[in-house]
A and B are shown apart, each in its own frame.
Chain A
Amino acid sequence: MGRYLIRRILLMAPTLLIVTFLVFILLFLSPGDPVLMLVPIDEVAQMTDEEMDQLRRKLGLDRPIYVQYADWLFDVLRGDLGRSIHQRRPVLDLLAARFPVTLELALLSVFLASTVAIPIGIYTAVRPGGIGDFLGNIVALMGVSAPNFWVALLLIVVFAVHLKWLPAGGFVRMSDDPVRHVERMILPVITLSTALMAVTMRLTRSSMLEVLNEDYVRTARSKGLGQRRIVFVHALKNALIPVVTTVGLQIGRILGGTIVIEIIFSFPGMGKLLLDAIFGRDFPVVQGSVLLITVAFMSINLLVDLTYASIDPRIRYGS
């Protein structure tokens, strides 16, 4: 197990190298001079070419791309992600302030989606063809097809504008006011979880249907076991294996979805940070965010793989 873990962590390195280098090349090739973004337009008009070059040298933007990349890479290995060009603060500080917000949104959404979707999926599998099955299918289809910004706006119109039950946006820290923090989390979390809920529901249903046709379920039935025991003891664990994979893979989608959600609900998360950095050509921040999101995503995938072993005794890593 330990050996497997080490190998998996080592395997992350080449992926991270490829992704970060790709982003580096793209940033390098992209139109728009970061120096021009940095200085107000009327000052640019007054600056001489020499002064511009000086500033470029100061920021290290005049060196060849592989030198800049290698430099960045060694700094990262030392735990230094560079400084934001615009905000003049270490990138690491920015990420540390923003990432928890995004992570909280993502984890709560996954939790909500699973707790709602898995029971419904099981129910519709046990009673196929019923009205619940039909409704479940429709809801699942809608969940996959609805753009999450549209879901967010619908929820705002209904629950914030008309019913006035919840605020339409804004963010309050947990440490400042826990009640208002939770209040402001509800709509974004519901929005983010809809798509995942739909996918999980469909998958739980089909996986459960498949497992219920297996020989060992027939055996259990012929032993005279009750439906409840068969579904929850014999079938559920096996049916959940593909569900866990998908939920894990969907976390990447959720991390991406938070970008949109953070903008609609004005949350100070990673998405807002990355988008502002992209528009402002704040290279170190873009690189740092991409790195952090990739690491988070890959760690979650690793966690998912490890979860298998605990669900399915046939899977043992490292032997």
Chain B
Amino acid sequence: MQAVDSPRKGEFDEESVSWSKASEPTQRAFFLFSRRLFARPLPRFAFALLILVILGALFAPFISPYDPIKPDFSAARQAPSADHPLGTDDIGRDVLSRILFGARVSLMAALIPLSISISIGVPLGLISGLLKGWTDDIIMRVLDALLAFPRIILIIAIAGILGPSLVNALIAIGIVGVAPLARLTRGLTLSVSEEDYVLAARALGSSNWRIMMIHILPNIAAAIIVTISLDIGGIILAEATLSFLGLGIQPPNPSWGSMVAVGNRYIQTAPWISLVPGTAIFLTVMSINLLGDGLRDAMDPYLRNR
């Protein structure tokens, strides 16, 4: 019966056409975007290095030449050689194998705290910015207090008080990341919520929830993503610092930070034990920062060279 209802059919067709049209510019924009991102050599280099770290972490059990945990006292503190390309640590474990397994911790350290910060911080910021009034006042007062405190010390205090373990360290980093993210989201929400399309949606009687999810969030997502990408390096550094202090991962499991801490005692005689994992942290964080910078530049060409 509806097949003969021609206007309806036409309407439907038009809709499907407009959908395919909408996705094409998106694909094109993505293509242009990645071309802009990888136009320069540094982001390319950073991207390649990160892929290497991710592959190493994923396939660590298959490509590690030795067991990362079992000690071999007869091979303790050997300098880098053909057998052990990056040397061995204080109790004879292969540093390369531990680096590969440690990469898993570092990558996890980037993802878990981030998901905690995002899942608490972004909704808080949205609510705060949209509802305003006393809700906003209370949320912001508490967040400001958290921001008034040196970040790493707060992380150390929370992680230490929860008890030394990798999970607690990641929770602590995530919690401390809530405040800055909520603040950013609130600021963006405030500015977007005065836009015509939000006012129009409100005039049409849309609920706060709908305005938040359909009109505001998609419009501020890009800015949030760029900021997050610039934060990831700092988050990995925070985990490394906690593990270095003994507040993160517990022995015998390897994390780059804890490996540096162990090597600290042998810095005079066997510097590779701590310098190798330290360099791994440095290169990984630098690549992430480079990519973050590239991402920001590619999204906003006017900011380039700043």
Q: Footprint of B on A, CB under 8 Å?
A: 14-15, 18-19, 22-23, 26-27, 29-32, 128, 141-142, 144-147, 149-150, 153-154, 156-157, 161, 168, 206, 209, 252-253, 255-257, 259-260, 263-264, 274-275, 278-279, 286, 290, 293-294, 297-298, 301
Q: Are A150 and B281 in contact (CB under 8 A)?
A: yes
Nearest chain-A residue to B158 (Cβ)?
A26
Q: Are A15 and B267 in contact (CB under 8 A)?
A: no
How many whole Å from B177's CB to the nearest CB in chain A? 15
CA distance A32 to B160 in the complex (A): 11
Chain A residues closer than 8 Å to B150, beta-carbon distance:
252-253, 255-256, 293, 297
| Neighbour of A297 across the interface among B142, B148, B244, B278, CB < 8 A | B148
CA distance A260 to B274 in the complex (A): 15
With A142-B286, A253-B150 in contact, do A286 and B281 touch (Cβ < 8 Å)? no
Q: Are B285 and A147 in contact (CB under 8 A)?
A: yes
Contact with A along B107-149 (1 / 0, CB 8 A): 0000000000000000000000000000000000110111011
CA distance A22 to B152 in the complex (A): 16
Which of B157, B244, B274 counts the most chain A CB atoms within 10 A? B157
CA distance A206 to B121 in the complex (A): 29
Q: A29-B161, A150-B274, A259-B245 are known contacts; what are 12 more A-B pairs with Cβ within 8 Å?
A: A15-B145, A19-B146, A19-B148, A32-B163, A146-B285, A147-B240, A147-B260, A150-B278, A161-B271, A260-B241, A278-B156, A279-B164
Q: Are B282 and A149 in contact (CB under 8 A)?
A: no
CB-CB contacts below 8 Å: B257-306 with A: 257, 260, 263-264, 267-268, 271, 274-275, 278-279, 281-282, 285-286, 289-290, 293, 305-306
B35 an interface residue at 8 Å Cβ cutoff?
Answer: no
Q: Are A257 and B233 in contact (CB under 8 A)?
A: no
| Neighbour of B244 across the interface among A22, A168, A260, A293, CB < 8 A | A260
B162 an interface residue at 8 Å Cβ cutoff?
Answer: yes
CA distance A150 to B144 in the complex (A): 32
Q: Are B237 and A15 in contact (CB under 8 A)?
A: no
CA distance A298 to B145 in the complex (A): 10
Chain B residues closer than 8 Å to A18, beta-carbon distance:
141-142, 145-146
Chain A residues closer than 8 Å to B289, beta-carbon distance:
141, 144-145
Chain A residues closer than 8 Å to B247, beta-carbon distance:
278
| Neighbour of A14 across the interface among B141, B305, B306, CB < 8 A | B141
Closest CB pairs A-B (n = 6): A256-B152, A150-B278, A278-B160, A252-B150, A145-B286, A18-B145
Nearest chain-A residue to B237 (Cβ)?
A147
Q: Are B275 and A144 in contact (CB under 8 A)?
A: no
Chain B residues closer than 8 Å to A168, beta-carbon distance:
267-268
CA distance A18 to B285 in the complex (A): 33
Total residues of chain B contacting the partner, CB 8 A:
47
Q: Are A145 and B278 in contact (CB under 8 A)?
A: no
B153 an interface residue at 8 Å Cβ cutoff?
Answer: yes
CA distance A5 to B175 in the complex (A): 32
With A31-B163, A153-B274, A297-B150 in contact, do A15 and B144 touch (Cβ < 8 Å)? yes
CA distance A26 to B271 in the complex (A): 38
Chain B residues closer than 8 Å to A297, beta-carbon distance:
148-150
CA distance A66 to B240 in the complex (A): 35
B151 an interface residue at 8 Å Cβ cutoff?
Answer: yes
How many whole Å from A85's CB to the nearest CB in chain B? 15
Chain B residues closer than 8 Å to A144, beta-carbon distance:
233, 289
With A27-B161, A147-B241, A260-B241 in contact, do A154 and B153 touch (Cβ < 8 Å)? no
Chain B residues closer than 8 Å to A301, beta-carbon distance:
148
CA distance A259 to B23 in the complex (A): 51
Q: Are A150 and B282 in contact (CB under 8 A)?
A: yes
How many whole Å from A167's CB to the nearest CB in chain B? 12
Which of B141, B164, B282, B289 counts the most chain A CB atoms within 10 A? B282
Chain A residues closer than 8 Å to B244, beta-carbon distance:
147, 149, 260
Q: Are B278 and A153 in contact (CB under 8 A)?
A: yes
CA distance A35 to B161 in the complex (A): 15
| Neighbour of B152 across the interface among A30, A206, A257, A279, CB < 8 A | A257
